Structure 1
């Protein structure tokens, strides 16, 4: 066995909560979810991935290998960090798309999305997700680096 056998092709590190997709490739849960927020293709073979499914057998094998190599402490810290990132990402996307879907055909400024959010990490993630989603599910007017950028759901005619 080699380290590469237990590594994600996206982050190039040991699998954290591995998921398998339709084409048979496996990735960390956070890695594939983040990738699928940008494109709907497998990062390796470009096939349509379907919904990621937790790969419990690969998770168990990875955990055994991590334990065997005495890497458990750093692995669990990374796992904790990944879970936090995934939750932040999901909350940010929920805030963005809930706000915009409540106003079909209308737009909003980025500062309206973050003004009632108290958590600075979540504010930062909302800004990051808006930049990532432009061209995929969002359109924008103005500078993406500023809070005064206006965003709206991407219209079906501009796809």
Structure 2
């Protein structure tokens, strides 16, 4: 079955009250931003409306309570980031994003038979941050070199 958000095979299937099914992490991210089903537009919805379609098994990750308050002070935020092995660099909003992303991935991992370790989750947050906040005009030098070589080859073929 394919998730209509990521267009990949559904992982950790969860449905909404309208019975539309998505990957847990995809629909959780969607509901953070929007309060309706991305397929049928049923609203209002929130994360508490998700229905787990897989057997939930006890695993090795303990329960943690997301402690993101509306506006926590920066030293408290940095302390939380350190506690979860996350980077404490960047502006306030970036640090809050990092912590929210950690809690989102952590909650998805808890549902898996073989969840990632908290350190593995922290590494995934770092990877996601690099992808989500990559500058659009940032160019990979190796990709540029490959494209340049292909262009030279095409020019030489036409001569």
Bucket of the pairwise TM-score, normalised by the shorter protein = 0.3 to 0.5
Structure with greater strand percent: 1
TM-score by length of 2: 0.42
TM-score by length of 1: 0.42
Q: Which is greater in Rg?
A: 2
